Each structure stands twice: as C-alpha cells, then as structure tokens.
Structure 1
Amino acid sequence: MSHGKAHEKVLILGAGIGGLATAIALSNAGYETTVIEVQPTLHSSVYGVGIIQAPNQLRALDAIGCARQCIEQGYPAENMNRMYDREGNLVRTVPGPRIPGFDFPAMNGITRPRLHTILADKAIEAGATVEYDKTITEVKQYDDRVEVGLTDGTTRTVDLLVGADGVRSVVRNLVFDTVYEPRYTGKSVLRINIPRLPEMDAIVRQEGRNQRGDRVGVGMVPLSEDIGYLFVNIVWDRTVRPSRDELRELLKQELAGFGGPAGVVRDHYIDTDEDIVLRPEEWLLAPAPWHNGRVVLIGDAAHAVTPNTAQGAAQAIEDGIVLTECLTGGDPLEQALTAYTERRYERCKLVVDYGYKARQWEFHPTPDFDPQEMGIRMRQSLIEPI
C-alpha cells in the first residue's frame, strides 16, 4: 500500500472517535475506506456525555477539517482549569498550553453526540462508507490481502484491517499471541449532565475528602453556552453495580461538605432526569509494534489512557493521521506500519504513564511526584508536532 491508490481498500472496525477520524484521513488520501460498527446506529454508538478537547486534539482535528465545527458547536475556553478548594475558594487558574501558529482555545468542550455527528458526516463526505449493526466473525490473512467475515454473512477482501474497537478490542487478539487486558486503577468516574454554571468558563476542579476520608476529585466541564457535565472520581469496587437511585445518593454523599460550584450542583442538579454514568478507569499499553501483517491497531485498542489525562480521543485521532502519513509515504506496507508505531509509541506511553501514576499517587502520595505539575508538563510536551 502506498500513495493511496483508489483501489486499495481499508476496513476499520469501530465507528468511535478514532475509527471515524482514521476513515476521514484515509479517504482524503484516496483509500477506499469502510467503517464497521457493532452498535445499530450512530446514536447508540456514542458513549459518555461530553469530551475535553485539548489543543493537540484540535490540531489533529484541523488536519482532517473538523476543528472549526467543533469549536463552533462546543465551548472554547481561554483557560484550561480553574482550581477551587473544598469550600469553593478559587485557588489558581491554569492557562493551558498554546500551539504556536494556531489560534486554538486552551480547551474546547463539546458533547459526544455533536462530535460524533461532525466526524461521521465528514467521513461520508470524504467518501468513506459507515455500516452499523455488524461486526467481524473471522479474519484470514494472506500475503496480499485480508479476508474478513462479518455477522451479516458477507466476506470483505481488503488490503488492511484497522482495529479501532476500543479497550476491549477483539482485533488486538489478532495482533498479539499474548492476551493484553486493561488494568483497573481502583477509581471509577461518576458523570452527569448539568447546566453550565457561571464559574464554568474553563474546567472547574475541586478537591476534598469524603466522610470515609478518601480523596474526592470533582470536575465540571463546559460543553456549550448552556450545558456542561459534572464528573466525580471515586475509589470504587468495580464489581458493585448500583441502581439509578443508588447512584444519585452516592453522588450526593461524595459531594457532602463541598461548597462553591460542587455544592450548587449537589443541591440543585443531581435530582434530575439526567442519567448518572459510572465508568471504571482503565489503562493499557500494548507492546510495539501495533500490527501483525495487514492488521493494525489504533486508539484504545493499543493504548487506553485514564480520563484524568483528557487525551484518549486526542491520541486516537493522532494515530489515524500518523497511520495515513506512514501508509502514503511510499514505503512497503511492513515498513510503513512499523514506522507508524515507532512514531506513536513514546508519545502514547507518556500519556498512559502520567494517567495511572497520577491515580496511584492519590492512593499512595510520594514527595517525588506532583500530579498537577506533571500534568502541566505532559500537556506542554503534547504541543510538539505529532
């Protein structure tokens, strides 16, 4: 595969953010691209409430022609974070990194349905096909092709299979002999949609301790002029699955004793019809290289990062752009795919390492690691070109 000849076919498993972004990049480069998604519709394939878009994500989206729409349909913020104490006093404002030559905000918040719609529309406009309600049943690799059987009874013959199928990737098992499973940090995240409070002109962060003495991290992310979401990081036994009513009580308990913005949300916006989503924080870093023959991994399938990095989607989008650059560089396929992992591995490892180390520090604080300063340094390093 080289130079994006029109007859070269790519099948992408997973119409999440990474899969759709990769489809846009490959289609723009002249590949015949099909995306297969197990969920029945675009709407049902969207997980979570909203997303934080750091400047490096906006730069990657700009490369596939989607950044401007995201900023128009989101909430561009001049600062990254505003830190408050438990009582609600402003402690510090973190401006966030800027990319020289780009006029991106420090952070853009956007709802996941809006982002998915932007990416899906752009993928189709670029010439990609997106097919829902099916997944792969078998994969046979040959020197010159991959034959992929699907649940709709068809077989697709393609030049490359891209696993963009997330942290529980089935494609990952085609790339490695060893089974790699994501690891749990010991913390889970509660999220709920809320109105955007006046303080939410950046990501609002508050920290305190709950009645048990556990550290509780609270965040509020603006997603538009009117709405945002609250997230609360809690120490959690992931085998326990609370009911809807139990989740509301849990959230109120965790926010007990908070003043300021978190107190306002607790008292006014928890008892609503909005769903509360509880998700475990997991991480994974597959070893290099992230391909085997004509099968390659991108995004969470290769490197799942914890949400405290705000980099999961960004790294998946960057993967798609770099993969396309490597494939169109004129090298034989094996070299191109090897070069792709080589360009991505250390950058993704930096993010994965920061994410779980910051979480471990919360359980066992040590003086040699300052999660706030390390987070600022990580975000600064991601300003470097991909």
Structure 2
Amino acid sequence: MSDRSILVVGGGIGGLATAIALRANAGLDVTVIEKQADVHSSVFGVGIIQPANAMRALDAIGCAEACMADGYGATEWGSMHDLDGGKLRDMTATRIEGAEYPAMNGITRPRLHEILTARALEVGVVIRYSTAFDTLEQHEDGVTVRFEDGGSERYDLVVGADGVRSKVREHVLGVELRPYYIGQSAFRLNMPRLPEIDRIILQPGPTGMAGFVPIGKDLAYFFFNAEYERDQRPKGDEIYPALKQHLEGFGWLTGQLRDEFLRPDADIVLRPEESLIARAPWHRGRVVLIGDSVHTVTPHLGQGAAQAIEDGIVLAEELRRHDDDHEPAFDAYTARRYERCKLVVDTCLAIAEWEKGQKPGFDNIAATNLVLDTLAQQY
C-alpha cells in the first residue's frame, strides 16, 4: 500500500500525529493541508497535559523524547487542596508496564506543534499551509478534493482531522451532528512555575475549579473552569475582571496567582467547553474521521490530544494490516477506538457536572483513577 496517497485535513496535534503514523509506520504517501498560515498561527491555547498514555503514543511516532526534554515530567498525576491549601486527596497515576514515562508531562502547545511538525517533515510528510478544501467528491477508486483556491487533486483516502468545527465531518456524518456546549468555559493563562506546582494541582472553589499544570522547568499554566450560559460568557475587556471575581476567597496558590500574576494586561485565554461522541461508523467510503471531529473531549482529564494521537496510530496500524482494503481497516479502527474514547468523553462530562454541583456524592478522584487505569492498557 506504500504507493497510496492520503490527504489529512487539519494540521493540529491530531492531524500531524496521524500523518506521521501513516507515513512512518504504514509507509503511505501523506499530505497535510492546514488553513492557517504556518505552524505557529495554527496553535490555540497555552499548555497541554500529556498523560502517560499520550507519551506512549508519542513514543510510537518518535516524538516522546523531545516532548520530555522540553516539557515537565511529573512523578505523580496530581493532588487536590482546599481553599487555604490544605491537602484533601492525592491523585496517583497508573504506570504503564515496561515503560518509564512520567505520570504526566506538561508542555507548551507551540513547542509540541514544533516537535510534531519537525518529525512530520523528517519522515516525508508534505505540509501545505494556507490551504483549505471546498468539496470532496468520492469515486469508487478515490476522492477528488477541490480546494478553495480553485485547484483540485485526487487522493486514495481522506482523513478528517479538522477538529471541533470539522468541515469533513458533514461528508461522513451529516451536517446535523455537532459538539454541544456543556455550560462551562475554561480560563487559562501562563505563569511562573512555583515549587509547589510539580504535578496537576486542583483547588475547588465556590464558583468553579481552579488548577495548575507544570509545562516547563520554569513555566506553568493556571486554569479555572467556570459555569456560564453560552451568551453570557465574558468577552474582551470583561475577561480579566470576571476571572478576578471568581478567584476572590481563594488562598494558597490560587490566591497568590490572583494577587501576583493576574493583571489587566495578562494574556488570558477563555474557551467554551464542548463535547461530542459520534456513533459508529466514523467513516463513509474513503473518508474517515479522527480526533475532535468525532470525540470532542472537555479538558477535565487532559485527554483530548492524547486520544487524537492514539487515533492516528491505530488508524495507521489497521491500514497497514488490511493493506489495500480500506473498509475493514476503517471498521477495525473504529471498533478499537469507540469504547475507549466514549469512556473519556463520558467521564469528563461527569466531572463537569460534579464541578457544577449537579452530581452530589460523585467521586471525581475515583473516576479519574478509573480512566487512567483503563488508558494504561494498550490502545
């Protein structure tokens, strides 16, 4: 199958990881198109959590070592503390048998994109920026892709890795299926890594969940999950005072963040949290979906990117295993991925409901540990 051509739509984390796996692990001819102008303009957000299962997947495409060198490897997953910093519970990570990955590696999103891009180019993936498709036309022996600039090309297969707002998704699952807003939005901003931030730190508060993630030797990011109606989320100059108000009453790390690092000119990212788990099949004909386009994961477990990377590796394995027959390869890919991704999506939603006070008696730590235990098993 090495002479087969594959177009990957989307140059984000999932798209690049999938392209690397398809090229390096399955020997396919792979082109990535990305509508943004370059690797940096395609990056959104601040930092990213890489659980042990993400490190295993990155290892499979030759990127784990670079991520660990430039990130922060935590010896434990995390801990939860009260408003004044008193420890409530530890969150321990399940180790992957036979491997020495950190419990959690934190890294900046720009650096992760640079690592994935460099590896993709190294193995022979073609990346075309400022490029978007207009239509996909399937044939018995291929897919004609017409681009927005008026050109067209033919590929054997197309992979939709174009995220939450996927345009490829409508060609597989129809226009009606879209992620939905869960009623929470996440504030995030970078800050210096204080000594206490050596793992994920959670501090529940009266109006939301505060937390810290180490993403480098001297760098961390702060997040706050807050409950908002979609049309009531703060915008522009409203974001800073809204976050500061949420953080009133916090002591310890969150209080220090509020008093020392939260300023009116701070670069604060505010994103809605959305969710989706699409029913199988995740393909139609020669077009298949991966990542957020079929399982949009809220950030409560740090698994969104990890699951997208796993998708790409499994897809490459099944295409290699089934050689020229894409239908059984796509079926096997979805069968291996569906329940695993659904567990992550469903557990994240349960944690969100607990954070909003709508799930009394729920044990978020036990739920997190169950997912980590399950994901420690091979994808």
Q: TM tier, shorter chain?
A: over 0.9
1:302-329 CA-to-partner distances (Å, cap 9, x unmatched) read: 1101100210000000000000000000
The reply on whether 1:236 has 2:228 as its aligned counterpart is yes
- Select 1:256's aligned residue among 248, 261, 273: 248
- Segments of structure 2 that go 5 or more residues without pairing to the other structure are none
Aligned with residue 348 of structure 2, among 344, 351, 355: 355
Residue 110 (structure 2) pairs with residue 116 (structure 1)? no
Secondary structure (helix, strand or coil) at the match of 2:44 reads coil
* 1: CA distance, partners of 2:314 / 2:277: 18
| 2:230 match: secondary structure | coil
- TM-score normalised by structure 2 residue count: 0.97
Q: Which residue of 2 aligns with 1:379?
A: 372
For residues 136 and 366 of structure 1, the distance between their equivalents in structure 2, rounded to whole angstroms, comes to 43
Aligned to 1:17: 13
Q: Which has the higher mean CA deviation after the structures are superposed, 246-255 or 135-144?
A: 246-255
Post-superposition offset of 1:232: 0.2
Once the two structures are TM-superposed, the CA of residue 382 in structure 1 deviates from its matched residue by 0.4
- The letter of the residue matching 1:297 is L
Matched, 1:224 2:216: yes
Q: Encode CA deviations 1:161-184: one digit per residue, 9 max, x unaligned.
A: 000000111101000236211111
> 1:120-160: per-residue Cα shift (whole Å, max 9, x none)?
00000010011111111011100100000112322111000
Structure 1 residue matching 2:223: 3-state secondary structure: strand
Asked if 1:147 corresponds to 2:144, the answer is yes
Residues 194-233 of structure 1 aligned to structure 2 (within 5 Å): 194-209=191-206, 214=207, 216-233=208-225
Given that residues 10 and 161 in structure 2 are in contact (C-alpha distance below 8 angstroms), is that contact kept between their aligned partners in structure 1? yes
- Show CA shifts across 1:343-373 (max 9, x none): 1001001101111122123335445632221
**Equivalents in 1 of 2:254, 2:357: separation in Å?**
25
1:26 aligned counterpart, secondary structure: helix
Are the equivalent residues in 2 in contact too, given 1:78–1:95 (CA < 8 A)?
no
CA distance in 1 between counterparts of 2:354 and 2:261 reads 31
- Structure-1 separation of matches of 2:175 and 2:272: 23
Alignment-mate amino acid for residue 340 of structure 1: Y
When residues 177 and 91 of structure 1 are mapped into structure 2, their CA distance, relative to the original with a 3 A threshold, is closer
Tell me the C-alpha RMSD between the 2 structures.
1.3
**What letter matches 1:375 in structure 2?**
T
Per-residue CA shift, 1:203-225, capped at 9, x if unaligned?
1110121xxxx3x1001111111
Residue number among 266, 279, 294 corresponding to 1:302 in the alignment: 294
1: CA distance, partners of 2:266 / 2:125: 34
Counterpart amino acid of 1:283?
S
Quote the residue 2:283 is aligned against. 291
* Residue number in structure 2 paired with 1:107: 104
1:213-243 Cα distance to aligned partner (Å, 9 max, x none): x3x1001111111111100000112223534
AA aligned opposite 1:326: E
- Tell me, yes or no, if structure 1 residue 315 matches structure 2 residue 307: yes
263-272 vs 100-109, which moves further = 263-272
Kept in 1, the 8 Å contact 2:23–2:125? The answer is: yes
Matched, 1:169 2:166: yes
Task: Check the 8 A contact 1:244/1:276 in 2, yes or no.
Answer: no
State the identity as a percent. 50
Aligned partners of 2:132, 2:236: CA distance in 1, in Å? 30
Task: Give 1:343's aligned amino acid.
Answer: R
Length, aligned pairs only: 377
Deviations, residues 267-303 of structure 1 (Å, cap 9, x unaligned): 0001164311110110001110100000000000011
Q: What secondary structure, in the 3-state scheme, does the structure 2 residue paired with 1:384 have?
A: coil
**Structure 1 counterpart of 2:321, which letter?**
G
Q: 1:344 and 1:219 mapped to 2: Cα distance?
A: 29
**Counterparts of 2:176 and 2:35, CA distance in 1:** 22
The separation in 2 between residues aligned to 1:224 and 1:370, in whole angstroms, is 30
Instruction: Confirm or deny: 8 A CA contact 2:9 2:15 kept in the other structure.
Output: yes
Pairwise mapping of residues 92-103 of structure 1 onto structure 2 (< 5 A)?
Answer: 92-103=89-100
User: Do the aligned residues in 2 keep the contact of 1:298 with 1:320 (CA within 8 Å)?
Assistant: yes
| Structure 1 consecutive aligned stretches of length 4 or more whose deviation exceeds 6 Å | none
CA separation in 2, counterparts of 1:181 and 1:44? 24
3-state SS of 2:36 partner: coil
Q: 61-70 or 234-243, which moves further after superposition?
A: 234-243
**For 2:177, which of 149, 155, 180 is the aligned residue?**
180
Q: Deviations over 1:71-107 (max 9, x none)?
A: 0000001011121111112223222121010101100
